[in-house]
Structure formats: C-alpha cells, structure tokens
Amino acid sequence: MARCDVCFRHCEIPEGRTGFCGARACVDGEVYQANYGRITSLALDPIEKKPLHRFYPGSMILSAGSYGCNLRCPFCQNHEISWSDEAFRFADTAEVLSPEELAQTAEYYRKKGNIGVAFTYNEPLIGYEYILDTAKLVKETGLKVVLVTNGTATLSVFEKLAPYVDAMNIDLKGFTDSYYRDVLKGNRKMVMDFIEAAVQACHVELTTLIIPGENDSAAEMEEMCTWIAGLKDKDGKVVGRSVPLHISRFFPRFKMTDRSATDVSTIYQLAETARKQLDYVYTGNC
C-alpha cells in the first residue's frame, strides 16, 4: 500500500493497483507513475488551440498527451484517453517516448514554427515526473513549456514544476463547490489555490466551459470574475484583471447527452458580464 499526494484524493493504492486517476500505481510499496512516457497523442497545434491567446500568438506548439485523469467530467471531449474504458487500455499499448526523444522532437519542429511542448489532452499533472524530466531538457534548448490542466494538484507538485513552466491554461470549470463535487468529482478550493500560485509564477489563461443548467448563471460568472480580478502577482500587486478568460460553449458528448448545446446568446451574455471586471475575455466554440 502506498499513499499518493498528487491531489486532494490522497489515494491509498494497494500493491499492483492504480489510484483513481488510473495513471499512478503502487509498486514495491512506492507510488510509481504508470503512464511515464506513454504518449497517446502527439500533434503540432496552433498555440491558440490550447487555448492561449496572449502567449506567442500565431505560433505553433508540439502537443503531447498520455492517459488518465483525476476528475470525472461527464462531458469530457478527450474521454477516449482520459477516463473511459478505452483510456486504460492505453496502459499497455501507448507508445513510450523518453524525455530525450520528446525534447528532440520539439527541437526538430522548431523549423516549422514550433515554440516548445504543451502537455495536454489528458490531465498532465498526474504524470508530473515525466513533465519535469522533459521540461528540463526542453528549457535547455530555449523552447517553451506549457501545461493545459484542470489545476487539481497539490502546491508541492506545482512547486516542483514551476521553475520550468512558461505558461498554463487552467480550467476553472465553475464557481460552486457543489458543481465541482457532484458533477466533476473534484475540489474547487484546490483549483483556486493552484491558480493563485500559478499567476505568481508564469503566464496564465483560464477556461470555463458553460454547461446548461449547471454553471451558466450571470451571478456565478460575476462572482467568479470578482475572484479572478483580485488575483495577485508574486509581489502582491493585484493583476487579475489582465488574466485572460476563455468562455466556451458546450456540446453534448460522452456521458452528458441529456441536454442541448449551450445557446450562443448565453455565451455572449456571460462574456459581457465577465468584461465588466476582466480586460481579456474570449468566446469559444461559437
């Protein structure tokens, strides 16, 4: 039995088994990253697709993903590699790419406009050891390191990675504890703490997917943006107003096909609410 301390779950993992995320295992009484280097997706993407709109706009970035996730969002667009039945079959079939090989691949694509590596598609923080090993090599070449994450990780994990990360897009999926707990199987406070730390360390953009009947009220958006606007940098200066927020439209998928896509008008109205407190608000999937 071994205790994992990556997120709020603190899974007690029996020998030879994996924790809730499916990517951290107990081997010889120690926590082991079972998805280390197991790459399920690799693509050269526009940086705006992460989405990052105010970090080297117009550039490309090599995007890499593995399998597993520590949330259970029923609308997950990457469920095939995150937490569906198919996801955990990747444990034996995913290609193994060493940190050296991924860093070399990123360098190779520099001639095609690549600025670095984005760890994305599944939840990268459940495999922070691989990110750390790779990021050190990527940074040595002068390329950038990006995380696209749900922010559900302890600050000790964040502190290990922070010196090597240039930018993050972090999902702030809603602003009620009940939504995080009951729908996502997550922990809102952990995400908020992670965002507060990230804003002090690197470029941060936030994304909120609007689900009809769940997190689509103007009142919740206003409360969330009030909190974002108050975020501070490492010197204690309030800088939250300049943190970009991406407000995205939901489409029925995976286990959430019981409702229609979010009305485009709702997205635009929530964006206007957000712009009362934030300087950079973007609408997605509209």
CATH number where 203 lies: 3.20.20.70
Domain extent, residue 52, equals: 37-284
- Asked whether residue 7 is domain-assigned, the answer is no
The pLDDT of residue 86 is above 90: no
Residue 60 lies in a domain: yes
**105-154 confidence digits (pLDDT tens):** 999 999 999 999 999 999 999 999 999 999 999 999 999 999 999 999 99
Q: Are 110 and 144 in contact (CB under 8 A)?
A: no
Quick one: 217 exposed, middle or buried, by C-beta within 10 A (0-12, 13-18, 19+)?
middle
The whole-model pTM stands at 0.96
Count other Cβ atoms within 10 Å, centred on residue 40: 22
Residue 20 lies in a domain: no
Could you give the CA distance from residue 78 to residue 150 in angstroms, rounded to a whole number?
Answer: 13
Helices (H), 39-121: 79-82, 85-93, 99-108
Number of domains comprising the chain: 1
Instruction: Encode pLDDT of 188-239 as tens digits.
Output: 999 999 999 999 999 999 999 999 999 999 999 999 999 999 999 999 999 9
281: which 2 tokens? 């608000």
Q: DSSP characters for 153-185?
A: S-HHHHHHHGGG--EEEEE---S-HHIIIIII-
Where are the strands (E) in 17-94, listed by range? 24-27, 30-33, 38-39, 41-46, 60-65
